[in-house]
């Protein structure tokens, strides 16, 4: 078991639904420590940079329009196997296919507007955490 850090985003649809607090509480109840937190609004260019791995996917333009459509909440969570365990708590990409009790099942709208993002690997976390947070903003 390894202590890891992972980036989670509460996407514009969930912020519009006013459920940021419920999502944070759900992750905290699983024992993870919140080490970074901020609310911000991405520009289209910033959303394209964040999701650069998807640049050749057919949904890239729709995804980056959505992610720059309103405020988001960015968080860094720390804990044992945080990367894979938080992906489990999030649920499947398509909220209709997500397991009961997962964040996307509870708060997602559709496959594009699915409430949250979570880093999918150590390599992703290493790109995504510094994208939003400086070292000074990550507090044990």
Catalytic (active site) residue 54: no
Q: Is 120 in the site for Mg ion (CB under 5 A)?
A: yes
Give the C-alpha separation, 14 to 132, whole Å: 19
Catalytic member of 13, 107, 117, 125: 117
Give the C-alpha separation, 72 to 42, whole Å: 8
114 binds, among Mg ion, ligand DAT, none (CB under 5 to 8 A by kind): ligand DAT
Q: Is 111 in the site for ligand DAT (CB under 6 A)?
A: yes
The single residue among 63, 74, 75, 98 that binds ligand DAT, judged by CB under 6 A, is 63
Contact, 86 vs 118, CB < 8 A? Answer: yes
Minimum distance from CB of 120 to Mg ion (Å)? 5
Give the C-alpha separation, 82 to 64, whole Å: 26
Minimum distance from CB of 29 to ligand DAT (Å)? 22
For residue 81, the 8-state DSSP code is T
CA 77-103-134 angle, to 5 degrees, is 25
Q: Is 78 in the site for Mg ion (CB under 5 A)?
A: no
Considering Cα of 115, then 120, then 125, then 127, what sign does the dihedral take?
Answer: negative
The single residue among 17, 46, 71, 112 that binds ligand DAT, judged by CB under 6 A, is 112
Give the interface with ligand DAT as residue ranges (CB under 6 A). Answer: 54, 59, 62-63, 93, 111-112, 114, 117, 120
Applying CB under 5 A, which residues contact Mg ion? 120
């Amino acid at each position: 078991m390894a202590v890891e850090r992972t980036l989670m985003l509460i996407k514009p649809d969930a912020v519009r639904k006013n459920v940021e607090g419920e999502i944070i509480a759900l992750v905290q109840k699983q024992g993870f420590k919140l080490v970074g937190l901020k609310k911000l609004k991405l520009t289209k260019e910033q959303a394209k940079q964040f999701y650069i791995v998807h640049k050749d996917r057919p949904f890239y333009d729709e995804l980056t329009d959505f992610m720059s459509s309103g405020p988001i909440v960015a968080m860094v969570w720390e804990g044992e196997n945080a990367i894979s365990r938080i992906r489990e708590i999030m649920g499947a990409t398509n909220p209709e296919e997500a397991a009961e009790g997962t964040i996307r099942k509870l708060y997602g709208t559709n496959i594009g507007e699915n409430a949250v993002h979570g880093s999918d690997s150590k390599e992703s976390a290493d790109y995504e955490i510094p994208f939003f947070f400086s070292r000074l903003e990550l507090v044990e």
